[in-house]
Every structure is written in C-alpha cells, then in structure tokens.
Structure 1
C-alpha cells in the first residue's frame, strides 16, 4: 500500500511539473509571436525628443532570432532619409526578459509592456527605455 501511494504521488508530481513547464512554454510562445508578428516603429527612447522622421525607424524581430533595425533621420537640411540598417540578434529568455546581441555584447532587456500595438522594454543596466508601436511617424 505504501509503495502504491508513493508511486501515485510521484506520478502526480510529474504531471504537475510537466503541466507547469508547458504553461511557461505557451506563455513564451505567445510573447515571441507578439514580438515577431509585424514590424515595430520607434516611438521614443530614453529622454530623446524624436520627430516624425525618426519615428519611421523599423524594428523587425524575426522568429529565427534576427533583429533588423532600419533607421531613419533628418539630414542637415531637415530632409527625412534612410540612414542605414543594423543587423542584430535577439533571444527570448522568459515572458519578461530577452537579450539583444550587438557586436558580441549582450544587452539584457526587460519587457515592461507588450500588447498587439505597443512594445515597451528597458535595455541594459541603466534601464534605457524603448517604446515601439505599430504606427510610422506620429504615434
């Protein structure tokens, strides 16, 4: 009788452990889908004041952990121009954390808000805040 009880308890514990892991996996999958679903546009970062041209900068997170940033900015005559792109990588660590790797340096990111329309995260030790949305130009 004692062996049956121990066996039953270990089976129940295994089931509970497996179901809690799958729940975490499902949450992370949902977060990854929201991040990679469509292009994000820069709304703000840090305390910088951005114009509509800067806000056309695109952040494209891909499911294969690529991140392409197409940056836009004003030239000396205040014309809006594409100023270049940056190819980075990223890795989702949990529902609330991911890493961006740039030139071999890992930048820890903390997700503050993630909805279909807004993605807010802090980058690095100084918690430099990025706000991305789905609207190019004024958000």
Structure 2
C-alpha cells in the first residue's frame, strides 16, 4: 500500500532553546543565571505538522536536518506524533538548526509580560541548504 498523507508540509525543523527569565543586569554583568532552560522542537513547518498530527491528520514533513543530537531529537518527535519522516533528509556533517533565545523580565509597567529576543546560533539552518 502506498502512503498517501492528507497533508504534506515543506520547511524548517529546528530545536528551540529558551532561557529565562532574566533581567537587564545581564547586559552589564555578563553572566546571570536563568530560572529555566528548556529544549523544544521548532521551526514553522515542524510546528504546523505537529499541530496537525495532534489533530489526527496524516502528515508528511519534508525537511533537511543534520545527523546530530538535534536532528535525532526532531526525528524522535515526529515519530512520537505519528508523522511520516521518509522525506526528512538527514545529511551527515550538517548541523541541525538551533535557535537560542532569552526571555526577558519586563520592568515596572508590566511585570507579568515577557518579551523574547531571538539569537541565531548559526546564520543558517539545515533547510536553507535544501
């Protein structure tokens, strides 16, 4: 039987590493402990594919990742949610995209809201080299 997914999604599959919250003392101190650091899958295509798979749709993700810990985490995530991974190209020697960002504490006027500052650990990710 031929696998015919309901939805095919092309695009980025990366890891996100949010750290925080931190305050502005980081700008002068150089090092400030974060209350929490996590690692999550990310990238527009992977996020959309995950939501659709959770809704019970048959999803095929077409992307490119490295043969590294980040890439293996992405494949594990996709398989856990039942996505077809046959078209995720694993390229040896390629670093899977990772985005690190800090979650800042807002000052005075809105203590419960946070803003994010995105930092790219690399100027490219695996999908840009498809």
Q: Same fold (TM over 0.5)?
A: no
Report the TM-score when normalising by structure 2. Answer: 0.27
Larger Rg: 1
The structure with higher relative contact order (CA 8 Å, sep 6+) is 2
Report the TM-score when normalising by structure 1. Answer: 0.26
Which of the two has greater strand per residue?
Answer: 1
